[in-house]
Structures are given as C-alpha cells and as structure tokens.
Amino acid sequence: MGGVDVSYMEDRAKAAAVVLDFQTMEQREAKISWTRVAFPYIPTFLAFREAPPIVQAVQKLENRPHLLLVDGHGVAHPLGCGLASHVGVLLKIPTVGVAKRLLCGEVGEFEGRRAPIFLGGKIVGMALAPKPGKKLLYVSVGNLITLDEAVDAVFRCIREHVQPEPLKIAHQLSRV
C-alpha cells in the first residue's frame, strides 16, 4: 500500500512517496523527489502541477505499491479525471483519490459511515465519516480499482487519525 503527497517552496515541489505494509501499516520505504514547478496552480487542473513530481517520487521506490492513495480526487472531478486518475494512468497502477473537501457533486444520504457522491446522476465517489464528529473524507476511483475496493482500502488504512496512514506519512515527509 502506498501514499503520495506534495508540498511547495517558492518554485519547487517536494513530493513524498511511501510504501506501507497493508496489514500492519508499518512503513517499509519512502522516497522524496524535488522538482521545479512547471505549471501554475489552477483549480481543477492540479494534476498538471502535481503529477510530475509524484510520478518521479514513485519511480524511485524499490518496492512498487500494489495500490496508491493520492491526496486529491479521482473521477469525482468536474472533468471526470483528477490527480489520482492521472497518476494511476501514468504509472499504470491502481490509485484511489482521497480528498479533504468535495470538489463537485452532491453527497447523498449516509448509511453507516458512508454516503454516495452524485454528479450528473451518477455515483462518482463516496463521502466517508471515518471518526464520529470529525471531518469527512471524499474517496473516488483513480485508476484500475472499483469504488467498493477503494472505500474498503481507505477504511483499512485509518488508524488513530482521520487521514489514512499512507497519506498521513507522505504528508509529514513532504513538508518543506
């Protein structure tokens, strides 16, 4: 199980890619990649800014993850193809978009700790309530995985915090 995140310092991006044991959530490997920012921040076009440093960091890993959690959206995106989708296609691996805010669509009724995200009459993701009284997570398919598999994987990666462990660790390592 892997996770990626990116942070910025002036015109440079620092991407972190981590691999964790899926059962124990113990870190097995981590790689960092520094790149020059080649694309400005434009809402809904984050993939063009963040995919290059993410791909570079993941390619440095000796143990390629079987599933990669991406701090961003997958198909729950106004254009149907967010950062998680781009990264998954470029790396040819299963990816899941895990976001902290809803970019588009409407959240339906909760059943237990999950509620569908609708866009144009289609289910494009799932809002998750991992911890009672805490912020929601918005999960969507990135690449080569079903929504049910994506939701299950995210729930299995949540420990003490709302954020899944692979993303929490990648976030900490990417900080500049």
Q: For residue 80, what is the DSSP state?
A: S
Residue 110's pLDDT is: 97
Angle ∠(125,144,162) on CA atoms, nearest 5: 45
Mean pLDDT, rounded, for 59-64: 97
Residues 11 and 158: their CA atoms lie apart, in Å, by 33
Would you say residue 52 has pLDDT above 90?
yes
Residues belonging to the chain: 176
Angle between helices 83-91 and 46-60 (to 10 degrees): 40
Whole-Å CA distances, 66 to 14, 21, 69, 96? 23, 11, 10, 11
The tens digit of pLDDT for each residue in 17-44 reads 999 999 999 999 999 999 999 999 999 9
Task: Report helix, strand or coil for 116.
Answer: strand
Do residues 161 and 168 make contact, with C-beta atoms less than 8 angstroms apart? yes
Does residue 91 surpass a pLDDT of 90?
A: yes
Instruction: Tell me the pLDDT of the chain averaged across its residues.
Output: 97
pLDDT beyond 90 at 176: no
Judge whether residue 82 has pLDDT over 90. yes
Q: Is the pLDDT of residue 90 over 90?
A: yes
Are the beta carbons of 35 and 45 closer than 8 angstroms?
Answer: no
Q: What is the longest distance spanned by two Cα atoms in the chain?
A: 44
Q: Where are the domains of the chain?
A: 2-174
> Does the structural domain 2-174 have CATH classification 3.30.2170.10?
yes
Amino acid at 35: T
Handedness of CA 98, 157, 107, 144 (dihedral sign): positive
- Residue of 98, 117, 99 whose CA lies nearest to 107: 117
pLDDT tens per residue, range 147-166: 999 999 999 999 999 999 99
